[in-house]
Amino acid sequence: MRQTPMIRVGTLTAVLLALGAASAAAPAGAQSLTDRFKSLFGGGSDDKGQQNLPAGGGPPVDPTDGLTCPPVSIRSGASTYAVAAPGKQAVGNDVRFQASITKTARECNLNGAEIIGKIGIQGRVVAGPAGAPATVDIPMRIAVVQGGIGEKVIATKAYRTTVQMTGDGSVPFTIVAEDMVYPVPPPGANADNYVFYIGFDPQALTPERGKKRR
């Protein structure tokens, strides 16, 4: 059965904003907006189809057959991000603020031998008893992971955004990553095992050190 076509790049942010903030993240299965690549790349011209004919004739070969846009899953232990007052632990009355993920969305585009994944993340920052600062930096990491026996990280990238806190102490945030690029799964690899893992990563706020000289 043909699956619902994937939304285009320009609409991803609008979709996230329309979703609104919620108190908890939706289950991974409910976060998927769309799936198959075939819905993005429908039938081409007759000439293009003839070029994809196998040597023995027969129906044209669809180069996107079997490719899927990976689902989004929140990495265990990385669904919230709490910051404490200096020298304190982020528990109880020492919490300055806490951020959480509430909604996700994603889409994929095929570009030659690469897949460009676009992942949207919506969340909320809530001020804690210790009082939140005027601005809050939100660190996030997104990774493309091949699951199965022994997970394999295909690509990973850190993102961050700054949130201006308000008097009511509860502010939404949105991160849209449009540049998660990874190779098309090689022949024999199960593309259905690929997952977009997301989660807060405080190390994303630390500037990368320059490479050490030998």
Residue 123 lies in a domain: yes
Quickly state the pLDDT bin for 68 (edges 50, 70, 90). confident
Residue 195 lies in a domain: yes
- Asked if the model's pLDDT at residue 78 lies above 90, the reply is yes
Distance CA 103, CA 120 (A): 8
Residue 211 lies in a domain: no
Residue 2 lies in a domain: no
- Asked if the model's pLDDT at residue 113 lies above 80, the reply is yes
Between 213 and 76, whose confidence is greater?
A: 76
Residue 3 lies in a domain: no
Residue 94 lies in a domain: yes
Give the position of tokens 């993240």. 25
Residue 105 lies in a domain: yes
Q: What is the pLDDT of residue 140?
A: 96
* Most confident option among 23-32, 48-57, 183-192: 183-192
Quickly state the pLDDT bin for 102 (edges 50, 70, 90). very high
Distance CA 144, CA 162 (A): 24
Domains contained in the chain, number: 1
Sign of CA dihedral 35, 109, 15, 202: positive
Residue 21 lies in a domain: yes
* pTM strictly above 0.75: no
- Asked if the model's pLDDT at residue 79 lies above 60, the reply is yes
| pLDDT tens per residue across span 132-154 | 999 999 999 999 999 878 889 99
> Is residue 133 a contact partner of residue 96, using CB atoms and an 8 Å limit?
yes
Q: What is the pLDDT of residue 207?
A: 65
For the chain, what percentages of helix, strand and coil (3-state, to nearest 5) are there?
15, 40, 45
pLDDT above 70 coverage of the chain, percent: 65
**Domain of 20?**
9-53+60-202
Distance CA 195, CA 180 (A): 12
- Asked if the model's pLDDT at residue 130 lies above 80, the reply is yes
Quickly state the pLDDT bin for 64 (edges 50, 70, 90). low
- Asked if the model's pLDDT at residue 53 lies above 90, the reply is no
Between 129 and 192, whose confidence is greater?
A: 129
